[in-house]
Amino acid sequence: MVKNEELEVDIIDNGFEGEGIAKVDNFVIFIPEAIIGERIRIKILKVNKNIAYGKILEIIKSSKYRVESDCNTYSKCGGCNLRHINYEYSLEMKKKSVQNTLRKALKRDIEIDDMIGMEEPYYYRNKLQYPVGVSENGKITMGVFAKRSHRIIETNDCKLQNKACQKVAKDVFDFIKQKEILGYDEKTNLGLVRHVIVRIGVKTDEIMVIIVLNSMNLQNEKELVEFVTTKNPNVKTIVKNLNNKNTNVILGRENQTIFGDGYIFDYLENKKFKISPLSFYQVNPVQTVKLYTKAVEYAELTGKETIFDLYCGVGTIGIFASDKVEKIYGIEAVENAIKDAKENAMINGIKNAEFFVRKC
């Protein structure tokens, strides 16, 4: 097999990231956006020892599960992998993926239940983080990273992100552009704005903006606050975050609140949670409630149990289950997360939970 060779192949499986898999001679070929059961004409892009990578040239026999993607940046963007597949079938694929992983780990077959999907699998993410940089023509740009690259693709309607968050991010970017504030250039480590992050408590409608900067010296920051909060009254806090390292990690450790209290709240069912700029909080709140409810249901709690919420983050799972058990111990490596977990227990009037900073 050689680079640029054109072949007709049958797709015999889909891999962990949804990529189609074909076998020719002794080669396994990975082909993005190909679906099991399809016959495809491909071009080989890269050949390793027994593995090759190809791209679709023509779909000769199409899968009945193939759909037209509803996103105009799908083929370039590194965010979604399965938008060319009908949602119900994508859940089947995920089920199979879990089954395969468990089979490998346990070395036996186990039955697993069907995936519990979303009724509306759109605009559900409560946290967007858009990179800001410099485009090829030297202009400031904001969007999403292209697949396996740090090239920024502008996006105006991401189907995953909460719509209010997208609007706030755009307003922040408009301001930055208007004031000719510089975007960060990864090649030279120069420029100021690296990321715009917007988080929302979907139940409280409270929005947090985090502007990740190469230096804390943000010109016109008062004007920025005025501009963004006037246009979006539900923005409750704006935070500057310093990240001047040459790294792929988005957030630095240092925050400075320039508007509001530095945090927002959200509810999961009847439990209230404080969200700080650096704290982990599940990004799909609709499915979080379903997931935690299922976990509690499967645990068949009688009210007498002691629960260990390992890797507890800000304590969401333990606190969610706290009414149904006798005692909760939350354990987590990050000190600030444990601080938030203790505060979350207090906010909810929970007396049967203790949290500890420990490595599991």
Ligand X SMILES: C[S@@+](CC[C@H](N)C(=O)[O-])C[C@H]1O[C@@H](n2cnc3c(N)ncnc32)[C@H](O)[C@@H]1O
334 binds ligand X (CB under 6 A): yes
Closest-by-Cβ residue to ligand X is: 313
Closest approach of ligand X to the CB of residue 96, in Å: 23
313 binds ligand X (CB under 6 A): yes
- Residues in CB range of 336: below 8 A, 6 or more apart: 276, 278, 279
Q: How far apart are CA 80 and CA 32, in angstroms?
A: 12
359 binds ligand X (CB under 6 A): yes
249 binds ligand X (CB under 6 A): no
The residue within the footprint of ligand X, chosen from 33, 171, 266, 332 (CB under 6 A), is 332
Q: How far apart are CA 5 and CA 22, in angstroms?
A: 15
- From 53-61, 254-262, 265-273, 327-335, give the range in contact with ligand X by CB under 6 A: 327-335
The residue within the footprint of ligand X, chosen from 317, 319, 321, 353 (CB under 6 A), is 317
Closest approach of ligand X to the CB of residue 320, in Å: 9
- Got the DSSP string for 168-222? HHHHHHHHHHHTTPPBPBTTTTBSSEEEEEEEEETTTTEEEEEEEESSS--TTHH
- From 49-57, 166-174, 268-276, 329-337, give the range in contact with ligand X by CB under 6 A: 329-337
360 binds ligand X (CB under 6 A): yes
The residue within the footprint of ligand X, chosen from 53, 123, 227, 280 (CB under 6 A), is 280
Q: How far apart are CA 33 and CA 17, in angstroms?
A: 10
Closest approach of ligand X to the CB of residue 44, in Å: 38
- From 16-24, 123-131, 252-260, 311-319, give the range in contact with ligand X by CB under 6 A: 311-319
Closest approach of ligand X to the CB of residue 334, in Å: 4
Type and span of the H or E element at 310: strand 306-310
337 binds ligand X (CB under 6 A): yes
295 binds ligand X (CB under 6 A): no
Type and span of the H or E element at 223: helix 221-231
Pull the structure tokens for residue 114: 């069907």
Nearest residue to 87 (alpha-carbon basis) of 161, 148, 37, 159: 159
Pull the structure tokens for residue 20: 């189609």
- Got the DSSP string for 102-133? HHHHHSS----PPP---SS-SS-BSEEEEEEE
- From 67-75, 148-156, 201-209, 313-321, give the range in contact with ligand X by CB under 6 A: 313-321
Pull the structure tokens for residue 141: 């740009």
Q: What part of residues 172-211 is at the interface with ligand X (CB under 6 A)?
A: none
- Cβ closer to ligand X: 260 or 313? 313
353 binds ligand X (CB under 6 A): no
| β-sheet bridge partners, residue 328 | 307, 353
344 binds ligand X (CB under 6 A): no
The residue within the footprint of ligand X, chosen from 116, 118, 190, 333 (CB under 6 A), is 333
- Cβ closer to ligand X: 122 or 356? 356
3-state secondary structure of 133: strand
The residue within the footprint of ligand X, chosen from 53, 227, 265, 311 (CB under 6 A), is 311
Radius of gyration, alpha carbons of the chain: 23
- From 74-82, 109-117, 163-171, 312-320, give the range in contact with ligand X by CB under 6 A: 312-320
- From 60-68, 70-78, 111-119, 309-317, give the range in contact with ligand X by CB under 6 A: 309-317
- Got the DSSP string for 5-69? -EEEEE--EE-TTS-EEEEETTEEEEETT--TT-EEEEEEEEE-SSEEEEEEEEEEE--TTB---
- Cβ closer to ligand X: 11 or 317? 317
Q: How far apart are CA 150 and CA 168, in angstroms?
A: 23
Q: How far apart are CA 2 and CA 61, in angstroms?
A: 24
The residues of the shown chain that bind ligand X, judged by CB under 6 A, are 280, 282, 311-313, 316-317, 332-334, 337, 359-360
